[in-house]
Amino acid sequence: MNILVANLGSTSFKYRLFRMDQDGGEVLAHGGYERVTDHAIAIDDAIATLQRDGIIQSTDDIDAVGFKTVLGKDLSGCVIADQSVIDALDGFADVAPAHNPPYANGIRQFAKALPNAKLVALFETAFYQWTSPASAHYAIPKSWRDIGIRRYGFHGASHKFIAERSAELMDRPDVAETTRRLYLDGQQAPDAAPLRVVSCHLGGSSSVTGILNGVAIGTSMGFSPQSGLPQNNRVGDLDSGAIPYAMKKLGISVDEAARQLTKESGLQGLSGVSNDLRDIAAAANDGNQDAHLALDALAHSIRHWIGAFMIELGGIDALVFTAGIGENNTAIRATVCNGLENFGLHLDAEKNTATRATEATISRDNSPAKIFVIPANEELVLAREVFRKLS
């Protein structure tokens, strides 16, 4: 089955064409467009390029297109991307203005360009469909809850991949199979011994998710991708009382407050140096105290959420690091794992230092709980879920 994974940003379009079968998949082609003003033109050009390069003979050679849609309020899961998905994305565009409109437009455009292809949406919220009401709800008035304000969670594709892969690495094929079939069967409750995993997706945006037997029990992100850990430019968790206070004291509008909290906050806001952890670490090495603070605040927040999920899970069997920072930043991993031996997590300092951008076990051989680095590959996750959905 040939599956095109479409990654749509507000001014970008990237794609990867996979050939998928039961055993996995291979990438047939990939490409991308920046500074896109009209997604329709970029999408038509990508399809024409695939034909011209002989990757596909006709548009019918693309069997399916997968979309990593973000937020659809009550609509979630891995679903056929029909009009109900477009309506759900349009209906919540205010909450995810950078993400929802390009996906709604992209789905419309692909439906025109590839009328015979199956279109499938995998919502970033999908992995959290089975979290408890207690973890999903904020203590807000009912009228707020009625307009859809609750904890949705994001990075679902990435954390689900970690759930599946960590179960394989922990030699728990039963749990890996539960996760593999999650969007087909819904939650299953295996009778087997619990497998308790905490997954840290640390990248441009970051989140920590608690996973029991392959199913998420909670996550650090909430109503919008604004919450949880400090992100590159986004604030992360913030006391709601700070917003009206800052608006009055600084004389700024709601829109300006939202802009500052999404563009000038997070690691950028704290460090005043950069939104990239490499630059921040270099500045900290040169003695910049604000850069130090940004590094410390990120590690503190990661540990805060790991601790929360270790309690909820009743312990931990595996701690996983993934995405740009999680895969590459050995110092953050060491800081996060510092002093966690009482919880069964013994980092092997040498293995940690030697591991970058590759899958590895970085705990000591005799560590009761494992620590893994598992590279993220979100396009492949999409291709796999689309293949499962349609097979």
CB 116 within 8 A of CB 59: yes
Smallest distance from ligand ADP to CB 37, Å: 22
Q: How far is the CB of 202 from ligand ADP (least distance, A)?
A: 7
Instruction: Read off φ and ψ for residue 67, nearest 5 degrees.
Output: -125, 130
Which residue, 317 or 327, is less far from ligand ADP as judged by CB?
327
Pick the binder of ligand ADP from 77, 153, 203, 210 (CB under 6 A).
203
Q: How far apart are CA 331 and CA 97, in angstroms?
A: 34
Does residue 219 belong to the site contacting ligand ADP (CB under 6 A)?
no
Shortest separation between residue 51's beta carbon and ligand ADP, angstroms: 29
Q: Is 32 in the site for ligand ADP (CB under 6 A)?
A: no
The yes or no reply on residue 166 touching ligand ADP (CB under 6 A) is: no
Q: Taking CB under 6 A as the rule, does residue 325 contact ligand ADP?
A: yes
CA separation (Å) from 88 to 17, 179, 260? 26, 25, 27
Q: By CB under 6 A, which span of 57-65, 71-79, 197-205, 302-310 interacts with ligand ADP?
A: 197-205
CB of 59 to ligand ADP, least distance (A): 30
Calpha distance 60→116 (Å, rounded): 6
Indicate whether 207 belongs to the interface with ligand ADP (CB under 6 A): no
Q: How far is the CB of 46 from ligand ADP (least distance, A)?
A: 21
- 90 touches ligand ADP by CB under 6 A: no
Residue with smaller CB distance to ligand ADP, 234 or 389: 234
Q: Which of 9, 32, 97, 204 binds ligand ADP (CB under 6 A)?
A: 204
Residue 179 or 329 having the CB closest to ligand ADP: 329
| Per-residue binding letters, 270-309, with ligand ADP (x by CB under 6 A) | ------xxx-------------------------------
CA distance linking residue 196 with residue 26, whole number of Å: 31
Q: Please give the backbone phi and psi of residue 196, each rounded to the nearest 5 degrees, phi first.
A: -110, 115
Q: How far apart are alpha carbons 338 and 332 in whole angstroms?
A: 10
Closest distance to ligand ADP from the beta carbon of 286 (Å):
16
Cα distance between the two ends of the chain: 9
Residue, CB closest to ligand ADP: 324
**What's the min distance (Å) between Cβ of 326 and ligand ADP?**
8
From the number of C-beta atoms within 10 Å of its C-beta (0-12, 13-18, 19+), residue 197 rates as buried
Minimum CB separation of residue 278 from ligand ADP in Å reads 4
Name which of 112 and 278 has its Cβ closer to ligand ADP.
278
Residues in the interface with ligand ADP (CB under 6 A) total 11
Determine, following the binding rule CB under 6 A, whether residue 324 of this chain makes contact with ligand ADP: yes
The 233-262 contact track toward ligand ADP, x by CB under 6 A, reads ------------------------------
Cβ-Cβ contacts under 8 Å for 330 (sequence gap 6 or more): 352, 353, 355, 356
Work out how close the CB of 298 gets to ligand ADP at its nearest, in angstroms, rounded to a whole number: 10
Residue 118 falls in which region: left (phi positive, over 0), alpha (psi -120 to 50) or beta: beta
Closest to ligand ADP by CB, 83 vs 353, is 353
Strand partners, 72: 75
Residue 329 within binding range of ligand ADP, rule CB under 6 A: yes
Where along the sequence are the contacts to ligand ADP (CB under 6 A)? 203-205, 276-278, 323-325, 328-329
